[in-house]
Chains A and B, each alone.
Chain A
Amino acid sequence: MRTYDWLLALHVTGAFLFLGGAVAAGVFSVLARRAERPSEIALLLGLTRVPVVAINLGMLMTIVFGLWLVLHVDDYELWEGWVLASLLLWLVTGALGYLGGTRERETRREAERLAAADDSPADAVALRLRNRVANMLSWGAGLVGVLILVLMIWKPGA
């Protein structure tokens, strides 16, 4: 395998971990919304720790091997529009994901507190799970991740 093949395979692996992890986190979030008891909600939201590790590792791999690829391939330049847009969107998805994740962590702690009390269904947690801003942050992070994939495939202007 040539250097290009290794770099591309590692870059794609990072993308799978990043977007696959985002999908897994989204699945847990949807499942938590359908749960009733705070203990179930806390359990399902707590499981997002695994996909978050995949997301963080994937984001690191995509940026490291992506930039390496741009420098390695003669046809690509760092200042091309699609490369710069991808870098900007990478920062945006990271920021949105961090903010959304922070709110979800607060919801999990609230659910854990209620589960330790009497574990009866509580409106407070349900409202937090349906909070529009929190959902827009988390789902927005995933959507921006998909936009990066679009740029990687179409490479507009390349």
Chain B
Amino acid sequence: MIAVTRPDSGNLPLFLHVFGAMAAFGSLLAVVVLAAAAMRRPERATLARAGWRALLIAFLPAWILMRIAAEWIRSKEDLGTDDNDPGWLGVGYVVTDLGLVVILLTLGFAFWWTRRRGEGWQGRVVLGLGSLYLVALAVAWWAMSAKPGS
């Protein structure tokens, strides 16, 4: 029940956008759980390797799908010009575009963490950045579904 009225042609890109966002959220949740577990379990090397794989194989493709589908929706629906975007759309752009920096940093630290076989402070950084981006994704889906101010 994403919206009461919407042109049918926008359904496929919306589905891909929402599905990509849900898959990105779920795979990042897995990474955060793995990093949190590594803080209190001895199998740090296994957990670090698993977190890196989850980021690369699940989260990144899902995030790319979400981002491409978002542009597809925007090209199909009249959502305003760059200077006149609704606020909820701006939240989405901040979370994805500025979020790209957070994602690249998370990937970098996760790779570094695997090189150190799960030892060191890099795991805590992955946990922190991953948790931060999980919250950002939640803010984005809330803004996009509730569309406050529109």
Q: Least Cβ distance of B93 to chain A in Å? A: 19
Q: Which residues from B are CB-within-8-Å of A153? A: 2, 11, 14-15, 18
Minimal Cβ-Cβ distance residue in B for A40: B46
B58 at the interface (CB under 8 A from A): yes
Tell yes or no: B133 within 8 A of A by CB: no
Chain A interface bracket (under 10, 10 to 19, 20 to 34, 35 or more): 35 or more
B residues bordering A, Cβ < 8 Å? 1-2, 4, 8, 11, 14-15, 18-19, 21-23, 25-27, 29-30, 33-34, 37, 41, 43, 46-47, 50, 53-54, 58, 62, 138, 141-142, 145-148
Q: Are A19 and B22 in contact (CB under 8 A)?
A: yes
Write 28 A-B pairs (CB below 8 A) sorted by A numbering: A1-B148, A5-B146, A8-B1, A12-B141, A13-B141, A13-B145, A16-B21, A16-B25, A19-B26, A20-B25, A21-B26, A21-B29, A23-B23, A24-B26, A27-B26, A27-B58, A28-B30, A40-B43, A50-B29, A51-B33, A66-B1, A73-B4, A76-B1, A146-B19, A149-B15, A149-B18, A154-B11, A154-B15
Are B43 and A39 in contact (CB-based, < 8 A)? yes
Min Cβ gap B113→A in Å is 16
Query: Are B146 and A20 in touch, CB under 8 angstroms?
Result: no
CB pair A50–B33 under 8 Å, yes or no, is: yes
Show the binding face of A for B, using Cβ within 8 Å.
1, 4-6, 8-9, 11-13, 15-16, 19-24, 26-28, 31, 34-35, 39-40, 43-44, 47, 50-51, 54, 66, 69-70, 73, 75-76, 146, 149-150, 152-155
Secondary structure type dominating chain A contacts: helix
Instruction: With both chains docked as a complex, state the minimum distance between the C-beta of A90 and any C-beta of chain B, in angstroms.
Output: 13
User: Would B29 and A11 count as touching, CB distance under 8 A?
Assistant: no
Point out the residues of chain A lying under 8 angstroms from B146, CB to CB: 1, 5-6, 8-9
A8 in complex: contacting residue of B8, B34, B43, B145, CB < 8 Å: B145
> Provided the pairs A23-B58, A31-B50, A66-B1 are in contact, do residues A12 and B145 lie with their beta carbons within 8 angstroms?
yes
